[in-house]
Amino acid sequence: MQRTNNAALFIGLIQPSRNQIKLKISDTLLAKRSTQSVNIAYRLSLIAYRLSLIADQAKNGHLWLLSHFRARWLGKSTPLPIASPSFRRQWHSACIFNPSRNQFMAKDSPISPSADKAFAGHTPMMQQYFSIKADYPDTLVFYRMGDFYEVFFGDAEKAARLLDITLTKRGNSGGEPIAMAGVPFHSLEGYLAKLIKLGESVAICEQIGDVATSKGPVERKVLRVVTPGTLTDTALLSDKTESMLLAVHQGARNTCGLAWLSVTQGEIHLAQCANDELSSWLLRIAPSELIYNVDVSSSFEQRLKAQRCTVTARPAWQFEAALGQRCLLEQLEVASLASWNAQDLGDAHAAASALLGYAEHTQGRNLPHVRGLQVWRSGELIELPLNTRRNLELTQTLRGEDSPTLFSLIDSCITGMGSRALKSWLLSPRRDRSQASERLETIAYLREGTQQNLRAQLKGSSDVERITARIALRQVRPRELVALRYTLQKAEQLVPDHGACPALLAEIFTHLQPPKACEDLLARFVLDEPAALIRDGGVINHSCDEDLDELRGIQTNCDAFLLDLEGRERERTGITNLRVQFNKVHGFYIEVTQGQTAKVPDDYRRRQTLKNAERYITPELKAFEDKALSAQERALAREKFLYEQLLDQLQEFVPTLSRLARAIASLDALCALAERSLTLAWSAPSFAKEPCIDISAGRHPVVEARLAETGGGAFIANDCDMSSKSRMQIITGPNMGGKSTYMRQIALIVLLASMGSYVPAASCRLGPIDAIHTRIGAADDVANAQSTFMLEMTEAAQILHSASPHSLVLMDEIGRGTSTFDGLALAGGIAAYLHNKTQAFTLFATHYFELTEFPVQHHGAVNRHVSAIESGADIVFLHHIEPGPASKSYGIAVAKLAGVPQAVLSHARHALSALEAQQTQGQAQVDLFAPPPEAVITEQSAVERALVTIDPDALSPREALEALYRLKRLSIAA
């Protein structure tokens, strides 16, 4: 209670105003600087200021003091305080000059008087910069100065290193030279793209005041913060990839709360999971930027920092469950989260609190277009672990390239929105088959011919989703609005006039009704070919505004006036070569050559002297200049005003445009799947309630497409019949025979069917699937000190712990990274565990022929082998899967195909023969390193020597007969 009383001493003024209470720290009490009192006041002030940063961005200012602050300092519920301007100045000083400035409430030291003195020692402009920089201590601040964005001090050194730009020192401030670097304003986007790829965040500080009327430094303000997870600019975004921001909150009971969104998408996602499930969620979300509570455990923090994205710690008080729930209610404009069954997700609410606050902070405003919520729960999606995504090459090849992959094959979408939707479907298939069944029904309908017309109409469509988000954030460019108008016109033609259609398609068509009023508004306000940026003018349409038309008229009539004035002045002065001209530096002028200056009238005032001419101004021309230049400035100001009015009016269409964008994206993705199914000759899968994977004439879609492109021949199709009675296949056969391709194609067919796509098979019948696990390939992880075998066993352990009777498991040559007996023992144990314990559908490829005896004792397993034909020392791979075990591995034949030297092959054949003899006859241990016995060299006979000299093609009939008799004589003599 004593602490509460002490804190109360330093509340100078508590004044209710519009549902919030402003708390002002008394400057007088701060000046006392007594030990305990000032420490408490300083801490209170620091908290108040930090909270005020959020309050500035909060909708209607309806934020409440956090429970942490209530409990520690006030001891009761009090609305959010706002720091006084006086304290903000002192806090800025402390942030800049205090070594512990980046530690929130790290020390009990009060603000030093020397901080104010040091702050005052800087130039007014640098004081302004420091005040702005204090709000963004961990962010590069691009500070607009004329035609450049400048960075100073530590930011300058960092930017120069990352961007390879010149670092200079210019002038002095506070007794020290100012380190600085800069980039031209018109090149900003290119530099931003480079910084974003490096994981950096940038605060864009613009000049918002009038240079001509400003006393001291022109007013500046950070208008947006560009971070990897909150990108909205199309120049910084990939058409086919979302920029995802994720907030993670570590719960109290071994749980995690997750909240994520794409600022351009307009939908918040929530999930709660156990700590051991976090990795799979992070993989599924694939965030570009991750924020987390600074108070998490060190082990939890290390897991987050291991992610391949920008990771940032945020103050603990930003992760508040009650605050997060209120923010969600306000953001979604609802009274309850019960409609989504999300009212009890406390950890997710805490994450949402930080997520929305951070997103609003970076955009400099609230997010009016974010009106959707989707709640994800563990067990709803088919698990696709990292190894599965990598080994199946879903979106990237094993070399890290975007093509050829499964996604690159099926993505024939016309729009970026469609591609992003399709990728989401591929990577997040649901266990529930209702959604996949709806898509399959729709694809079947579109295959009848509708998809061709729809795809033709979609060509040239703009990215409505991202344009809508930029409208809501007031960041949209004029040409994007023109592109939106053309897309709205196209959307009117997308809804067919004929007959009934599947329910999913009918729902899409209901949202494909573009708002006519929005289209008309855009047509009325924006020119068909506007300037790239509103600051350049030439954006607002003619006849849209009378005042603007009048101002433009003055500029349009400028040339006519100048010609008229030039003619009149030539006649008045008698100077025939007199010219009336304009340039941006000196404005309007009358130019007279040096030889004619004697004829200049008295009312001419010299403006500029050149080598061969003089330039003058007259009262009439000066009056016109003032009017014309003023008209140009006023026209630009008027255009900016009208553009802001347009953005105001467009806000009401944001919800409708968001629904339209989602409808176009879904339609585009479905049409792409329909087109692919026709072009690639795929068939519709069917679903069963009982466990089964029944595939007839299945093909690997990517390999088949590559063979068709390169003329490599037809792909050999294979069947797969797995049920509750035969859950495991032990697959043997030669290297290069196609075992891995067969296994992968089964997994890809299962995945395609689960997402609701046609599949590369004659038929496919699929039971419930909850996960696809793979252990394929050999590689080490040097960075984490894991050998090839250790990595192999780690991946195998993860599968054994995770797989269930509804999982599909691919095991390729497990145990090969250690000795033969160890590897065989482990492979047998893993196969037995998968068969007996997990009972997962398992494709188990191996070169341990001892495992072909496994089905004898385990009746749920069967032998399969890849067929091949051996012709002498050569081998022909048939790539066909047949019942039963393989007879041999043909390893030496494969080595011959690879170009291994003949001496090595001979040595290997000898050793192999000896080993096989040892195994069958029980001989002594074979010396594997002994060279093969030398072949006995015999001298050629006379007949053989004679045969070598004969060229049958060069002999006449008579010579051939003589040669035959000669050979006969030689053979008799021998």
**Alpha-carbon separation of residue 833 from 59, 476, 770, 796, 800 (angstroms):** 56, 58, 19, 11, 8
Phi, psi of 662 (to 5 degrees): -65, -40
For residue 734, say whether it is annotated as part of any ligand binding site.
yes
Segments in 869-939 forming alpha helices (H): 891-897, 902-921
Angle at which helices 619-650 and 516-525 cross, to 10°: 170
Angle at 314 between CA 84 and CA 79, to 5 degrees: 40
**Alpha-carbon separation of residue 512 from 156, 464, 487, 519, 948 (angstroms):** 49, 12, 11, 14, 84
User: Is residue 185 classed exposed, middle or buried when 0-12, 13-18 and 19+ CB atoms within 10 A define those classes?
Assistant: middle
For residue 735, say whether it is annotated as part of any ligand binding site.
yes
Token output for 521: 């508004």
For residue 611, say whether it is annotated as part of any ligand binding site.
no
- 3-class SS of residue 165: coil
Token output for 320: 């508040």
Token output for 622: 């000066």
Token output for 788: 């090839």
CA distance 56 to 48: 12
Please report where in the chains the tokens 């909708």 appear, as a residue: 59
CA distance 445 to 441: 6
Angle at 551 between CA 475 and CA 637, to 5 degrees: 30
Phi, psi of 190 (to 5 degrees): -65, -40
Of 200, 214, 278, nearest to 246 (Cα)?
278
- 3-class SS of residue 934: coil
For residue 767, say whether it is annotated as part of any ligand binding site.
no
Angle at which helices 558-573 and 619-650 cross, to 10°: 180
Please report where in the chains the tokens 């918002």 appear, as a residue: 208
For residue 648, give every residue at least 6 positions away whose Cβ sits within 8 Å of its Cβ, in sequence order, or none.
none
For residue 740, say whether it is annotated as part of any ligand binding site.
yes
**Alpha-carbon separation of residue 847 from 460, 811, 822, 867 (angstroms):** 53, 12, 14, 14
**Alpha-carbon separation of residue 76 from 18, 164, 350, 809 (angstroms):** 20, 53, 21, 56
DSSP readout, 749-818?
A: HHHHHHHT--BSSSEEEE----EEEEE-----BGGGTB-HHHHHHHHHHHHHHH--TTEEEEEESTTTTS
For residue 737, say whether it is annotated as part of any ligand binding site.
yes
CA distance 25 to 82: 10
For residue 330, give every residue at least 6 positions away whose Cβ sits within 8 Å of its Cβ, in sequence order, or none.
59, 62
Q: Are 685 and 764 in contact (CB under 8 A)?
A: yes
Token output for 7: 């804190």
- In the chain, the amino acid numbered 277 is E
DSSP readout, 83-110?
A: --HHHHHHHHHHHHH-TTTTSTT---PP
Q: Are 811 and 778 in contact (CB under 8 A)?
A: no
CA distance 43 to 39: 6
Of 851, 853, 849, 865, nearest to 739 (Cα)?
865
CA distance 720 to 886: 17
DSSP readout, 463-495?
A: -HHHHHHHHHTT---HHHHHHHHHHHHHHTTTS
Annotated binding site for ATP: 733-740
Annotated binding site: 733-740
